[in-house]
Amino acid sequence: MTTDAGSPEARSRRASERIARRLMAATLVALAAALVLLSAYALEHFERRLGPQVSHKAEAVGRVVASDIDHALDLGIPLNRLRGMDAYLENVMADAGEVTFVVVGDGEGRVLYAAGPDAAEGRRLVERLHAGDGRHGSAGRLGDFFHAAVPVDKGTEGGPGVHLGAPRSLVHDLLKDLSADVLTVFLVGLFAAYEILSAVLALKLGRPLSLIGRAMRRAAQSDFAHRLPEIGAGEVRRLQHAVNGVLDRVAGRAGSPGETLSQPSLAAMRAPLILFVFGEELSRAFLPLYVDSVYSPVPGLSREMVLGLPIAAFMAAIAVMTLFTGTWLSRAGPRRLFLLAVIPGVAGHVGTALATGIYDLVLWRVLAAVGYAMATMSAQAYILAVTERTGTRASGLAGFVGAVMVAAIAGTSIGAMLADRIGYRPTFVLAAVMVALGGVLFARLVSDAEGRHETERTRLTWRDAGRVLANRRFAGVVVFIAMPAKIILTGFLFFLVPLHLVTDLGASQSATGRIMMAYFVAMVVVAPAVGRLVDRSGRYHLAIAAGGLIAGIGPLVLPVHDTALTVLGAVIALGVGQALSTAPMQALAVHVTERADSDIPASLTSAVLRVMERVGSAVGPFLAGGLVAGLTLPQTAAGLGLLMVVATLVFLAVEGVANGPWPRRAEVPS
């Protein structure tokens, strides 16, 4: 049965989506308000508990000043005739960190000496302190400062003393530092809210309603030989039960109960897939640094190449897996294969967490890659199987890509924040937990019957691959666009960016995670809009060229201007560039092979393209690692950027020569 957008089933799906969206908005408003309140609550507690510690520090500074003054007084120098106090106090303040004023008072309301950036304010406050109750010498707050006082001249409270202050705004600064983290939490909360609410509503409301609708419409045409599965929640389930009740009664007259209606749902498999990918992405922002921590030399490889080795091995394993999963899928089916993927997935992450050296680490990463490949490919197969019947393949696959992106955004940023806090190894353990949770959820949500449809898988053979690659234009797309794109992605973003940000620029792991996350955010934000634009204008070549150049130019800036902000810029440029070029590139690849040999199915072309892309992914970190041997990290990044730019230009030249002016619209099979 095929459905169009106006069908009753689409309507009930949209109804549940509309509820999900509104509910998500409500949840986000509540979350934002709660986060603000939590921050205010944290601020109050920060100040209350940090204050005394700041005062202790101020006291330590005060004791030094008081003891030096006492020394001078012991030598018979009067307190008001100390020489060189300004220079002396400024010198002390230079080493005093948080403390921003030091004031020496004579105990009778006169300030004799003052120094530090807030000296004027300190002078005023201390004078007022005397004018007030004359109390003196207790730690606490004074105006906008944490305050401490230390008596001099063996004095007691109320006598001459040294006053010190540290701004209370330093607690606010702490919270300001945290605002980026809190924003990230909000962003992740946004995705979590969306995913959780849509999954619950789709499974408990949307899908059951659409089934009930189907049952009702069939009954309306006097077809009573079917029953509903009772899978909804509460009132929906009650309605299902009631519908089944009347159908039973009708059937009591008319005969057999008939089939149980079923409708597989993409929503069911979305959450498990996200969890699985999320687990893998947790280490995105620190994997090279983790490798560095277990580094041991590998003969024949430079240190940097070894650091890139685990990423390269991961990507290579996925490329190889592409060749096998087709067979496995047709043998085990998507559901079993996804559940089987949990075994290497969990083992890979736990092994990575416990890795002792580079060799076992590579092994564990390969295992994780095997799990990752099995899971994502069975998810894809499942989606294809489900959408084949509903004719919503394109939106189904878009949903798949969306899920992977959401997982990448959340995983990269949260993994980095966690690594900052609990360390690399525990974060890998958490990754294993996520993967296992994905498996459990999958087993619960996706029933065996669903997705168990004979999928026509294109099995990739060397001969097929050779046939596709023999097409020069296709080879051109692969060599000059697809592979460089993946090389710069894994070599620059996955490998160089975390290394450079943390080791050279001293960025925190969290900041690194946020910067890397920007790539995925740019992809998510830009890709759909650009996709529509490109589809409408049909300027595929232009999109590919612009994308390649934008992606390549970002890293080129780094050797000239090397700050965390420029790295962020380069990462965003990469995301925007690849958002521009990826889909048109795939379309063009299919287009050129079909034009040359209409016997080659699009699925075969896509499969070859994917394998070649993954080869590029595997080469990326290795190439970067090799280049780094003679260059700095920014220079290497620029090298990869240059590669991308040059490859794009060569592609343009070759395509232009082969085909004259750019076609306005590549005829792309949908």
Site for another protein in 416-455 (CB under 8 A): 417, 420-421
> CA nearest 593: which of 460, 459, 466, 480?
466
User: Which of 53-61, 333-341, 436-444, 618-626 is the region at the interface with another protein (rule: CB under 8 A)?
Assistant: 53-61
| Binder among 119, 188, 319, 521 for another protein (CB under 8 A) | 188
- Nearest-approach distance from CB 332 to another protein, in angstroms: 32
Q: Is 72 in the site for another protein (CB under 8 A)?
A: yes
Is 249 among the residues that bind another protein (CB under 8 A)? yes
Q: Residue 33 interacts with another protein (CB under 8 A)? A: yes
| Residue 655 binding another protein, by CB under 8 A | no
| Site of tokens 């080659």 | 600
DSSP 340: H
Query: 10 Å Cβ neighbour count for 561?
Result: 11
**Torsion sign over Cα 471, 473, 479, 484:** negative
CA angle 379, 383, 386 (to 5 degrees): 135
CB closer to another protein out of 208 and 264: 208
Copy the structure tokens of residue 141: 């707050």
Binding segment toward another protein, per CB under 8 A, in 239-247, 315-323, 335-343, 356-364: 239-247
The distance of closest approach from Cβ of residue 247 to another protein in the complex, given in angstroms and rounded to an integer, is 8
d(CA 157, CA 172): 31
- Which residue, 209 or 527, is less far from another protein as judged by CB? 209
Choices 72-80, 275-283, 395-403, 595-603 (CB under 8 A): range interacting with another protein? 72-80
- Per CB under 8 A, does 233 bind another protein? yes
Rounded to an integer, what distance in angstroms lies between the CA atom of residue 509 and that of residue 4? 47
Binding piece for another protein, criterion CB under 8 A, among 114-122, 203-211, 297-305, 521-529: 203-211
7 near another protein (CB under 8 A): no
Under the criterion CB under 8 A, does residue 263 sit at the interface with another protein?
A: no
The helix (run of H) or strand (run of E) holding residue 459 is none
Question: Is 157 among the residues that bind another protein (CB under 8 A)?
Answer: no
Torsion of CA 633, 634, 636, 638, to 10 degrees: 170
Longest CA pairwise span in the chain (Å): 118
- 596 lines the binding site for another protein (CB under 8 A): no
Residue with tokens 């590029």: 616
Q: Does 246 bind another protein (CB under 8 A)?
A: yes
Distant-in-sequence, close-in-space partners of 185: CB < 8 Å, separation ≥ 6:
35
Kindly tell me which residue out of 3, 7, 10, 31 binds another protein, with binding defined by CB under 8 A.
31
Dihedral-angle region of residue 87 (phi above 0 means left; psi in -120 to 50 means alpha; beta otherwise): alpha
Q: Of 3, 7, 88, 301, which lies in the binding site for another protein, with binding defined by CB under 8 A?
A: 88
467 CB neighbour count, 10 Å cutoff: 16
Q: Does 77 bind another protein (CB under 8 A)?
A: yes
Give the list of residues 6+ apart from residue 501 with CB closer than 8 angstroms, or none.
507, 511, 512, 515, 564, 567
Among the listed residues 241, 472, 561, 595, the single contact to another protein using CB under 8 A: 241
Residue 128 to residue 134: CA distance in whole angstroms: 9
Smallest distance, Å, CB 55 to another protein?
10
- Binding status of residue 253 toward another protein by CB under 8 A: yes
User: Applying CB under 8 A, which of residues 137, 158, 159, 213 lies at the interface with another protein?
Assistant: 213
Nearer to another protein, 85 or 611 (CB): 85
Candidates 1, 75, 131, 657: give the one binding another protein (CB under 8 A). 75
Return the number of the residue (421 or 444) whose C-beta is nearest another protein.
421
CA pair distance 302, 133, nearest whole angstrom: 70
User: Which CB atom, from 245 or from 357, has the smaller least distance to another protein?
Assistant: 245
> Is 252 a residue that touches another protein (CB under 8 A)?
yes
Please state, in angstroms and rounded to a whole number, the distance separating the CA atoms of residues 65 and 63: 5
Which is it for the CA torsion 19, 22, 26, 32, positive or negative?
A: positive
